[in-house]
Amino acid sequence: MTNTFPDISLNTERLVLRPLEDEDVPAFTEMMNDEQVAAWTSVPQPFTEAAARTWIDEEAPAARTSGRGLHLAVTEFLTHRLVGIIRLGNTDWHVRSTELSYIVAPWARGEGYASEASLATAQWLFNDQKFERLELRTAADNTASQQVAQKIGCISEGVLRGACIARTRTEDGRWEDLRTDFIVWGLLPEDIEGIAEQLADTGGFTSYSDWN
């Protein structure tokens, strides 16, 4: 029997993490067409509303029901505005391990939402789902994403040389692939012990900007 993630929602002090919905299509599309998202992810450009609907109605449910991963919308608790997504993928149920990635919308950067949502997801995985390892991969030049990994307690475990394809703008406005390194980060249950208290002592999630 295939292990699968439950159809869940998670709450933090400021955020609600929930399944993506059809109502998210306009904001989701706008977020995925952002220059920084295009530069640091493999999201097709331009990203259309049709692609957003396929992601929400087909790809996300298939990932969850097959046990491959989980896609969650990150929304503000008070406004219900979509401010990002959390994705789990490459899940190995035998070793209870999965890979986490995050994207924050351009209109929500600087609020610490990536680290807040990522830590909540890690706590849920370790405490409720009994996972034993969480992995993140950040492009070598994506320092903001690396700050998120450090902020939630991840340990840098090494470099995968030439394993990442980022994108850069050419002089004529086209996107061009740029090969770079992946930094691999690992997070174990013991790594997040006391992280919430440490964040409170140092200014919380908004002590500096983060995004992926």
Q: What is the pLDDT of residues 61-116, one digit of tens each?
A: 999 999 999 999 999 999 999 999 999 999 999 999 999 999 999 999 999 999 99
| Cα dist from 80 to 49, 76, 109, 212, whole Å | 20, 5, 16, 21
- Report whether 178 contacts 78 (CB < 8 A): no
Identify the residue whose tokens are 């990002």. 84
Q: What is the pLDDT of residues 30-60, one digit of tens each?
A: 999 999 999 999 999 899 999 999 999 999 9
Identify the residue whose tokens are 């492009």. 139
Tell me the sheet residues that pair with 82. Answer: 75
pLDDT tier, 166 (very low <50, low <70, confident <90, very high otherwise): very high
Identify the residue whose tokens are 């993630």. 5
Alpha carbon distance 167, 165 (integer Å): 7
- Report whether 34 contacts 47 (CB < 8 A): no
Q: Give me the pLDDT at residue 211, please.
A: 43
- Strand (E) positions, the chain? 10-11, 15-18, 70-76, 82-92, 97-104, 133-139, 155-169, 175-187
Q: Give me the pLDDT at residue 35, please.
A: 92
- Report whether 75 contacts 81 (CB < 8 A): yes
What is the three-class DSSP state of 24? helix
Q: Give me the pLDDT at residue 175, please.
A: 85
C-alpha neighbours within 13 Å on the C-beta side of residue 152 = 27
- Report whether 45 contacts 10 (CB < 8 A): no
Q: Give me the pLDDT at residue 1, please.
A: 46
